[in-house]
Amino acid sequence: MRARDDAEFTEFAATMIRPLRRTAFLMCGDWHRAEDAAQDALVKVYRRWNRIERREGVRSYAHRAVVTSVLDQGRKPWRRERLNDPDDAALVVPDVGGPVDNRLMVVKALAQLPPSQRACVVLRYYNDLSVDETADILGVSAGGVKSQTSRGLDRLRQLIGHPERSAS
């Protein structure tokens, strides 16, 4: 890779590591696994840096890579952990400026969603991606994203204790 490309990638990685780590954490509920997934995603981006379309393609590819990495980690037998362990509360970085209890409740509820629903909810509402962007990242149709997101939100409402659907 040329020095200019190396500098571009370094700038991209510095900008994207936090959002990728946050996405991975919301999908797996473990900061250590999230860090691994974010780094794996950046390695995949680095390997294809010269072939990825630079406009929005590189961000989309990075998100796809982190989602794939988290899902792959979860398939490994030694990684099948549940967030129900009381010691897992220590893994969550305290949020000094906001309601920690609500955040923990949402993270635990997200962990109980099936992987496809969790990925759709995280990408749509935590990463603020469109239906089409989410569909592209996950490799599914826009209708699939809509249905998985709807089911995921309904399940989250049940888990959190707000079964009624708010009018949007």
Instruction: Give yes or no: residues 70 and 26 share one domain.
Output: yes
Would you say residue 143 has pLDDT above 90? yes
Residue-wise pLDDT tens digits, 47-106? 988 888 665 688 889 999 999 999 888 776 654 444 444 444 444 454 444 555 677 788
Structural domain containing residue 140 = 97-168
* Rounded Cα–Cα distance for residues 107 and 122 (Å): 11
Q: What is the pTM of this model?
A: 0.70
Looking up residue 110, the CATH number of its domain turns out to be: 1.10.10.10
Q: Are 14 and 114 in contact (CB under 8 A)?
A: no
Q: Note whether residue 44 is domain-resident.
A: yes
Q: Note whether residue 115 is domain-resident.
A: yes
What domain count does the chain have? 2
Q: Note whether residue 91 is domain-resident.
A: no
Q: Are 26 and 120 in contact (CB under 8 A)?
A: no
